[in-house]
Each structure stands twice: as structure tokens, then as C-alpha cells.
Amino acid sequence: METTLLPAEALPDSERNGVYRAIFSRRDTRGEFLPDPVSDEVLSRLLMAAHHAPSVGFMQPWSFVIVRGEEPRRRVHDAFLAAHAEAALMFPEDKRDTYRSLKLEGIMEAPVNICVTCDRDRAGPVVIGRTHIRTMDLYSSVCAVQNLWLAARAEGLGLGWVSIFDNAVVQRALGIPDGIVPVAYLCVGKVRGYHPRPELEAAGWRPRLPIDQLVHFDRWGEQEADQGLLNRLRADQETLAGR
């Protein structure tokens, strides 16, 4: 059966620039949430964007737990506080105070929390593309998170991914069945604004790595074969840093 392909052409400049703007201005939002509700119309668009992420073997392993109630959010927040206190002690002493001062979640402030999960059995035991890399289904759910994140930015919303808690506690708090893996706990809502740079970068926790040091040609460690591309990458990174 013949398939009629859609045109393989670049998006119009304004649409293409919008995609890149969403990518470069997306932030992990923690302390800027407003109490305003997120409408069902907007939330539906976010979930549809997530549901159209690529997935291994087209298994679509994700599900979405929408959390608006105060009680379940409180249980997740309590799990965060316990893990946050434990995590502080894992860092060198000279970084602990900085770590404790960072705002690392917006569970109670954001009007909507979303837990993105992965059903690793959704397409049966043998899945096209997962026969040798078993974690491809988990990666697929992460693709759904990224789609949702960029869609949220396009809608003028903030999104924060909370990962400092015992996943089993969150699973029990939300009644997620055994065998369903919580992949991401997201806080979503309107915000006062976006930080010009990621907060951890601005706080001096870690710098943005030079991209030219992260590119290899044909084999690991070969980084000088294409000076033209490397120079272009350096120039583009400097341009972005200067915005």
C-alpha cells in the first residue's frame, strides 16, 4: 500500500523561531508559581502534546496522574522534605548551606501537579526497538515529559520536575499500581516570569558546559576533525549567552 508523505520542508521562520525560543527559554520552575488555575482547554493541549511524543515500538507507555487535591500533594511534599534533608548531607560541607537555600520544588504552590508514569508491560513482553535496550520504554516516557514541558512554555506556563523523594512513597501516595513506574513528578502553572538563566547556573552551582567540548567526530575523543562546525557551535553559544 502506497503512503502519501507529508512535505518535508522547514517551518515558516516565525514558527521555527518559536520552537527554538521555547527550547532556549524553558526553565525548571520552582518558586514563581501563581495560584491561578490552569484551564481544561490548556491542560488538554499539554497532555495531547505529551501523548504525541515518540515511543519505542509505538507502545505509548505513559499515563498521566493529574493531582490537584491538597491531601495527595501534601503527602508528596512530605516525601520531598524527608528526602531533601537527607540529600543535604550527601554534599560536601561547603555546599550544604547553598543546597539548603535553593528552592527545589513547587508542589504546594503550583495549581496542578502531574505524575507521568511508564507501563513497561503495555505492549507485551517483546516490543519493536526494545529487544536489546530494555530501558527504551522509560526513555519514551521522558520524551512525553519533554513534549509537555515545551508545550507549557509555549502556553506561557512554568513547569518544574521534582525528583528529590523516595519514588515508592509517591507511588503509594497516588495509588499507582505495582509494575507502573513513576517517571516524573511535574508542577505546572502560571508564573510571575522566567529566569534569564537556569537557577543553578545563576547560583554558581554549575556552569553551562562549552558545547564544543561535548562533540566528537566518528569516535569518542576525536574533537578536532571539523573546525568549521566547532567554530559555528562556539559562536552560537556565545550569541545565546549574550541574550
pLDDT digits (tens, 9 = 90+) for 55-86: 999 999 999 999 999 999 999 999 999 999 99
The total of structural domains in the chain comes to 2
Parent domain of 213: 208-243
Q: Domain check: are 125 and 49 in the same one? A: yes
Q: Based on the domain organization, do 64 and 178 belong to the same domain? A: yes
Q: Is the pLDDT of residue 243 over 80?
A: no
Backbone angle region of 157, left / alpha / beta, with phi > 0 → left and psi within -120 to 50 → alpha: beta
Q: How far apart are CA 131 and CA 117, in angstroms?
A: 21
Domain identity same for 217 and 162: no
Mapped onto helix, strand or coil, the DSSP state of residue 208 is: coil
What are the pLDDT digits (tens) for 117-173? 999 999 999 999 999 999 999 999 999 999 999 999 999 999 999 999 999 999 999
The cell for 122 is 503495555
H-only helix segments in the chain: 13-25, 40-51, 70-88, 93-101, 136-154, 167-173, 199-202, 227-241
Which triple of cell numbers denotes residue 84? 531533601
* 168, 79: one domain: yes
Q: Is residue 1 part of a domain?
A: no
Which grid coordinates belong to 158?
512554568
Per-residue confidence band for 1, with pLDDT thresholds at 50, 70 and 90: low
Per-residue CA distances from 109 to 39, 92, 112, 149, 187 (Å): 16, 30, 9, 18, 8
Task: For residues 71 and 36, state if they share a domain.
Answer: yes
Threshold 0.75, pTM exceeds? yes
Query: Is the same domain home to 70 and 120?
Result: yes
Shared domain for 166 and 213, answered yes or no, is no
220 in the same domain as 199: no
* Residue 143 belongs to some domain of the structure: yes
Print burial letters for 221-235: b (CB count within 10 Å at least 16), e (below 16): eeeeeeeeebeebee
Residues 230 and 200 reside in one and the same domain: no
Residue 136 CB contacts under 8 Å (≥ 6 apart), including other chains: 56, 127, 129, 130
At which residue does the C-alpha cell 523561531 appear?
A: 17
Q: In this predicted structure, which of 2-6, 34-38, 178-182, 207-211 has the lowest mean pLDDT? A: 2-6
Task: Give the pLDDT mean for 219-233.
Answer: 89
Nearest of 169, 186, 184 to residue 139 by alpha carbon: 184
Average pLDDT, the chain: 95
Residue 7 lies in a domain: no
Distance from C-alpha of 123 to C-alpha of 58, rounded to nearest angstrom = 9
Residue 19 lies in a domain: no
- Residue with cell string 543535604: 88
Which domain CATH number covers 46?
3.40.109.10
Task: Let me know whether 134 and 199 are in one domain.
Answer: yes
Same domain, 42 and 59: yes
> Does residue 219 sit in the same domain as residue 178?
no
Report the pLDDT value the prediction gives residue 231, as an integer from 0 to 100: 93
